[in-house]
Structure 1
């Protein structure tokens, strides 16, 4: 058991991530160690790893194209205009304000899939308004993280379609065939603990909190901004991307046609095209490569032959379905906390969890739930996660919001704990 290549490799990966090594480097080193400990020579290890990377090519392409889409939108005033219109109605209602930010964040994952790119554009102009309303920014951090996480867990649209697609592919790679419809019929339940966590966060952080108004952080007057041909062109691209991904169930195709529509209608200016594409790669390029190496890592873990040994050992330790469910979710929490990506975690844990769940007697819906929740656990609360880095990037614009204590700790408490509890319950009753 202690010499199991999968166990040694996963522990090494977690330790490297917790020591703040680069995530992609940590996965690469752990993959090589898994291969060598598993008796695969270095040349074959690298070859197997590279071949395994092809499993997430579609996902990586989706991330790159969405990054370009997000970059194009960031060059317009669309999000600023939207929040200016909304703020006229909610400027004196704290709860409505926080819930509206959560809704806008949800749209960034599904309706307009630009991920965290909207936060540094949209949140800084709102800080003076938040200060005036004496809103505790920890509540806003929880609202933004909710919007960045709950939609992809529960809805097969935008990033949710990517998340569900990875689950489908990795379960198939490990002997369990499911469809996107099978996953969506189960994972809508994943939104329940997230909603509960959001409500609790708003209640706990409802008391007024004072912040200083810093003039240098004040952006230009929102009332002077209006829709131009540039904004209308970007809006056309967004609509095209959304419709295409719904009709054809293909996020890469939707994003590609959305970008083309922006070029045709002026949403992306010709003289800014290279700049937009470069920024798009900067936004999503690294995440795309993490997805590729994570897929290669999952392939290496399967090729070592150590999974079956580990499955038998964990099944014995678990002592039954309840213990197994709790153990798998806790392991998922630790892995995702280290990696910082739910999407990158799936290929790693699916290789172990699929055979383990079968041995423990879980049905397919329960296996879907365990893999999805185990991957999602830790996305909130991880210092390296986009779901926490994004909110901090906007809320700390004036230097008054701490990443660890004002974003990571609150989101960990209000989302990971409910997900762990409800994930266990759902896995047992499905």
Structure 2
């Protein structure tokens, strides 16, 4: 298994620990100085800054969320009991989405057990990786298109999220080496295609983000402010920001990483040297395709990805894709794969509940609106950049929406942004950084596949390229969308 750990041991680990303690001591001293000077620190600002700092210091996101929520509640004058109560009362919203992720994880693991993804990888390698054809430009672009299509389908058609990457990519590394493809371009294609698909297409993960999270938070926060948005507005509002991500992907492929790059070919990892070729019996293939079709139909008909994933899992279980006694193991493996995302989303809802309970969201909005004045262009830019840093700290756009909504919706309306522009601002601000965070499932997934032979660094080859190409274009296009919609 690829080691994605960003930490280290020994002297380097001790040095890092001292740096963390130094940063925390400096932050505490700064806060004490402000308090001694009689300056009030807004509880919402303090909570978010504390959460971002703790995340960037590589503390577990769950610990950062709870700690920052408690700090913000106490700063606002709430008792510890009141703070915990506000936190607990809002966990239900996030837990509903979190349980959907758990079921998706189980379905993804069951689908991987079928061997369908491995068979697909073997077919691609066999057709594209032989003879002189592997050096042709047509093969290069065909492979990129296949990976782009697989990324889109993993979010909207076959909702397995990043689970397809560690299965599909490693068998293709030999083909990429013969094509002299720069793996940084592949990382950008995977990250940009995955982000674009769930931000624009309202099925699968797109249904969760656009309908269950983005629109729900917009309507909940905007209910008392006269804002009401409908499901058809989200794709229209997110079109321009998504085009910014697509533009960044094109820049990565056609300009930044267009030049050939050489990698060592590890013969022991060639398909013929590993396990026997993957084969699927006709009955198993039909059952797998039926599970995919039923999952898609159920999620559309019942507007529930949870029901669709569960139906697909049940079909694969009864079809004998894996032994009946292994059902608990498959489900547990899926739970482990999605547990972090599910926990973060759940705790983020509690964090948002504490922010609302402090009563200091409106003062923050008023102060921000006073600073920005009537300058909508400045307001949109500040909101997007703040969202970028918040999402980098979280590593997940889904969890960022409940954090940003209580601040961004009132501020956007105070600046007289239209409902479509408000949707674009919140959706883009929450998604910025998702493809460029060290803890993002997207960047971790890309590294897990591309570093199967130890020649792809998580920070230099995945994180930095995806951060630059996915986010810079999105900031610009989202800013334009906010001012024109």
The TM-score range, normalised by the shorter chain, is over 0.9
Match of 1:224 in 2: 277
Alpha-carbon shift at residue 90 of structure 1 (Å): 4.3
- CA–CA distance in 1 between the matches of 2:279 and 2:387? 46
Q: Residues 230-273 of structure 1, C-alpha deviation per residue, up to 9 Å, x if partnerless?
A: 44323321211111111221111111112122222223431221
TM-score normalised by the chain length of structure 1: 0.96
- CA–CA distance in 2 between the matches of 1:354 and 1:222? 54
Aligned to 1:364, which of 419, 424, 433?
A: 419
- CA–CA distance in 2 between the matches of 1:42 and 1:216? 58
1:75 counterpart = 2:113: yes
- CA–CA distance in 2 between the matches of 1:163 and 1:219? 37
Alpha-carbon shift at residue 38 of structure 1 (Å): 1.2
Match of 2:82 in 1: 44
The worse-fitting range, judged by mean Cα deviation, of 217-226 and 355-364 is 217-226
Q: CA contact under 8 A between 2:121 and 2:169: conserved in structure 1?
A: no
Q: CA contact under 8 A between 2:242 and 2:474: conserved in structure 1?
A: no
Alpha-carbon shift at residue 190 of structure 1 (Å): 3.2
Q: How many residues align?
A: 430
Alpha-carbon shift at residue 2 of structure 1 (Å): 5.0
1:199 counterpart = 2:247: no
Match of 1:9 in 2: 47
Match of 1:250 in 2: 304
Q: CA contact under 8 A between 1:232 and 1:267: conserved in structure 2?
A: no
Structure 1 runs (4+) deviating above 6 angstroms are none
SS of the residue corresponding to residue 244 of structure 2 reads helix
Unaligned runs of 5+ in 2: 1-38
- Residue pairs, 1:308-323, within 5 angstroms: 308-319=362-373, 320-323=375-378
Match of 1:126 in 2: 172
Q: CA contact under 8 A between 1:58 and 1:252: conserved in structure 2?
A: no
- CA–CA distance in 1 between the matches of 2:86 and 2:355? 10
Aligned to 1:173, which of 201, 204, 220?
A: 220
SS of the residue corresponding to residue 156 of structure 1 reads coil
Match of 1:263 in 2: 317
Unaligned runs of 5+ in 1: none
1:108 counterpart = 2:154: yes
- Structure with higher Rg: it is 2
- CA–CA distance in 2 between the matches of 1:384 and 1:263? 32
- Residue pairs, 1:146-161, within 5 angstroms: 146-161=192-207
- CA–CA distance in 2 between the matches of 1:120 and 1:33? 39
- CA–CA distance in 2 between the matches of 1:21 and 1:2? 27
- CA–CA distance in 2 between the matches of 1:240 and 1:343? 25
- CA–CA distance in 1 between the matches of 2:360 and 2:269? 54
Q: CA contact under 8 A between 2:191 and 2:470: conserved in structure 1?
A: no
Calculate the aligned-residue CA RMSD, in Å: 1.6
SS of the residue corresponding to residue 355 of structure 2 reads helix
SS of the residue corresponding to residue 140 of structure 1 reads helix
